[in-house]
Amino acid sequence: MNCSLGTCESLVDWVCRRVNQTGTVSESVNESLDQEVDVELLQRMARGDKEAFAAFYDRYAALLFSIIFRILNDQKESEDVLQEASLLIWEKATVYTPSIGKPSSWAVTIARNKAIDRIRFLQRQNRLVEKAATEGEGNEPVRSVRDSVYGREKAELIRVAITDLPTDQRQAIEMAFFKGLTQYEISETLREPLGTVKARIRRGMLKLRASLEGLL
Amino acid sequence: MSQERKEELASLYVAGAMTSAEAQAFEREMLQDAELRALVTSLQAAMTVLAAGVPLKQPPAGLKSEIMAKIAECEKVVPVSFTAVDERPRSRWLLWALAACFAVLVVYQQNMGFQTQTADMEAQLAEARSEQQRFQSLTGILSAKLADQEKLLRSMSATNQLLAMELTQIKESDRLANLRIALLNSLLADSPKAVAVSVWDNQKQTGVFHVENLKPLPAGKDYQLWVIDPQYKTPVDAGVFQVDEKGNVRFEFKPRQTIAAANTFAVTEEPKGGRPTPTLDRMVLAGNAKEL
C-alpha cells in the first residue's frame, strides 16, 4: 500500500500502518475510530495511564487543533488552547462515561469550549485578529480533517451531507459553534427573529444527523 | 416537554448557542431525561462530523512532549525516605535511654496539657453558667416589656376606634354643612295652614320638598317650585307638583340650573306643565333657606 497522501501526518501514518495490516482503507478507518478503543483509552487515562493519553492525543490532536485554529485563527493561541484542552481531557477522563457521548464528540466539545472561552478573553483584551478563516462553497481546501479522520470514501459522503445543508441552517450552526455566538447574538447579527434562528439550528442539526445516520 | 421542544433545546445546546445559564439548566434537565441525553448524544456525533470539515491543521510536533511533561509534573510525588537506624550495639542502650526520657517528657507534657485543658474547660463552664444566668434575667426583663407593649397596643386599638368614630362624625357634619333648610309659609288667605319644608343639598344639587295642607288645584293647573339664587336674574325652575286630597305631597327635586346658593324657595300656581318664569302674583308659599 503506497501512502502517498501528502505529508503523512501521524494519524495518516497510523492509518497506513493499519491498512498494511488489514488491507482496506475503510476498515482501517472504521477501526481507527472505533468507539470502544477510545473508551478504553479514556478508562486507562482515568487510572493514570500516560501512554493511553499519548495514544488518544495522537488520534485526535489534528482534529482538535484544526477546530481550535478554525475558531481562533492564530497559531500561538491555538497551541495554548490545545494544551489546555488536552490537560482538561486528561483530568476529566475520570468522569467520562459512554453515556455522555462518544469520546470524539466529548473531546471536540472540550476543545471547542476552550477555544470559545479564549476568543471571548481575547475579545475583551482587544487582541483578537478578526480574520475568520472561512470555508466557502465550492472553495474546499485540498485537505480537511474530515479526509484524514474518516478516510476518502466516507469523507465524500460527509461532504455531500454538509453541502446539502441549506446555507442559512449551516450558517446559523457555524456561527454558534465556531464563533461562540448565542442564539440571541445570532438573531441580532443576522437581524432575524429569534424563532427563525432556533428553527434553523434545529432543522440543520436534525438534517445533518439524518444525512449521516449510517456513518455515525 | 414536546419532542419538537426537546429537539430545539438539544440542537441549541450541541451547537453551543445557549447562554451559560441556559446550558446549566438544560444539563439539569438532561440528568432526569434519558431520551434527552440520547438525543444530545446523537446530535453531538453529527456536530463532530460537521466540525471535521474544517481545514486540516497539524499541531507542532513539540507540543505533545510539552503536554506530556505538564501531565508528569502534576503527578510528581517525592518519596519520603527514612535513614537507617544506627545498628552499633554500643549506642543501643543510649538510644533506649533517650527514648525513655523522651517518652517521660511526652507524658509529662501531656499531663500538663490535660491539666491546663481541664482548667480552661472549667473556666469556660463557669462563664457559660454566668452567661446563662444573664440570659435568664434578660428573658424576664424582655417578657415584662412585652407585656407592657401588648397593654399599650390594646390601649392604642381602643383609641383608634374612638378616632374612627369621631372621623365618621366629622364626615357627617361636613355633609350636614352642605345642607340648607327652608320653611315656607302660606301666602294664601284661603290656605293659612299650608306649610312646606325644603331640605337642599348644595353638594349633590338635589333636595327634598315636603308640603302639607295646600289646597289641591283644579285640572289644568300645577304648583311649581322655584329656587332663588342671587347669581340668576330670575328664579330657577325646580319642577311642578300636585298635592293629594289632603293637600300633602313629598318629593325630591333637582333644579334645571346649577345652584350656587339656595337663598329662598317659593311655590307658585301655574298653568299645567309650569312656566319658564314664575307668576309672582300667584305665589302661594315662600321661605328663606338657612344652614343647619
Q: Is A37 on the interface with B (CB under 8 A)?
A: no
Interatomic CA distance for residues A185 and B22, integer angstroms: 14
Cβ contact (<8 Å) for A186 and B17?
A: yes
Nearest to A87 among B51, B60, B71 (CB): B71
Distance, in angstroms, between B33 CA and closest chain A CA?
A: 12
Interatomic CA distance for residues A55 and A62, integer angstroms: 13
User: Nine-digit cell at B70?
Assistant: 505538564
Cβ contact (<8 Å) for B48 and A108?
A: yes
Nearest to B51 among A67, A141, A183 (CB): A67
Mean pLDDT of A168-193: 94
Closest residue in chain A to residue B51, using alpha carbons only? A67
Q: How much is the ipTM here?
A: 0.75
pLDDT in tens for each of the 292 residues of chain B?
899 999 999 999 999 999 989 999 998 998 888 899 889 988 988 888 788 778 888 999 999 999 999 998 876 544 444 444 444 545 566 667 666 666 667 666 676 666 667 777 887 888 888 888 888 878 887 888 788 888 777 767 766 676 677 667 656 666 666 789 999 999 988 788 899 999 999 989 999 999 999 999 999 999 999 999 999 999 999 999 999 999 999 999 999 999 999 999 999 999 999 999 998 888 999 999 987 6
Measured between beta carbons, which residues in chain B are less than 8 angstroms from residue A50? Answer: 68, 71-72
Q: Is A113 on the interface with B (CB under 8 A)?
A: yes
Residue B170, amino acid: I
Could you report the per-residue pLDDT of A79-117, keeping only the tens digit for each? 999 999 999 999 999 999 888 888 999 999 999 999 999
Could you report the per-residue pLDDT of B25-39, keeping only the tens digit for each? 998 998 888 899 889
Tally C-beta pairs within 8 A across A and B: 185
Strand partners, B226: B237, B266
Closest residue in chain A to residue B52, using alpha carbons only? A146
Distance, in angstroms, between A65 CA and closest chain B CA?
A: 6
